[in-house]
Amino acid sequence: METNNTIGGTSAQVKRDNSEGERRMAHPIKHFRVITKHRHTVMKHCFRAGIPIRGLLHDLSKYSPTEFLPGAKFFDGSRSPTELERAAHGYSRAWVHHKGRNRHHFEYWTDYHPVTKQMVPVKMPLKFVIEMFCDRVAACKVYKGREYDCASPYEYFARGSAKKRMHEDTGALLERLLVMLRDEGEDKTFAYIRRDLRGKKDY
Ligand SMILES: [Zn+2]
């Protein structure tokens, strides 16, 4: 998952980050560990949800040089490296590369509306919505650590603006799964996805 990308800070702060950007110490091993740990958690979720192939393929582009090198350079244990890359360069090449290749991100699913010619969100295929759910739960576990409980992913979603930026039906399904997780727990939600949802043609 890409975390909340707002940069809280003044322009002076951004400038300082910018100058630091050029002489940062890279942390390739720490970055490798973080992305691999995240991948493994998502994989476990995807297996429980009945989409093992999506689990095995999840976030593999993070090991490509375009994503890995800035990830290591801007590694900071508490914030997403893409946030710091953005502060330093005005945008994150790693994120642009990532969202353009990974179909579990709703940001991938945008296109020009055939009539209005405006860029609009496109309805995500079901398996990628499930993968997105698995990803969000995994990311939330890492950010919250011991404070994580099964309501945390819903709370994060409810606070953020993601729902407004994805296709209506996609947002509604993701929300429904996060509410189910909050109210009925992980076992029931993954069992529901695996048995009742995964095989559906549409949602
Ligand atoms: Zn991803």
Q: If we measure between CA atoms, which residue out of 18, 31, 25, 27 comes closest to residue 86?
A: 18
Contact status, residue 131 vs residue 46, Cβ threshold 8 Å = yes
Q: Up-side HSE of residue 40: CA atoms within 13 Å toward CB?
A: 7
* Residue 10 predicted with pLDDT over 80: no
Instruction: Render pLDDT for 36-92 as a digit per residue (tens, 0 to 9).
Output: 999 999 999 999 999 999 999 999 999 999 999 999 999 988 888 999 999 999 999
Ligand 1 centroid vs 115 CA: distance in angstroms? 31
**Placement of tokens 């529901």 in the chain:** 192
Instruction: Render pLDDT for 98-112 as a digit per residue (tens, 0 to 9).
Output: 999 999 999 999 999
Cβ neighbors of 198 (< 8 A, separation 6 or more) are: 49, 50, 51, 126, 127, 130
Ligand 1 centroid vs 100 CA: distance in angstroms? 10
Please report the DSSP string for 97-139 in residue order: HHHTT-TTSGGGSEEE-TTT--EEE-PPPHHHHHHHHHHHHHH
Ligand 1 centroid vs 124 CA: distance in angstroms? 15
Of 6 and 151, more confident = 151
Tokens for 171, please give them. 């947002």
Percentage of the chain lying above the pLDDT 70 cut? 89
Confidence of residue 11 (pLDDT cuts 50, 70, 90): very low
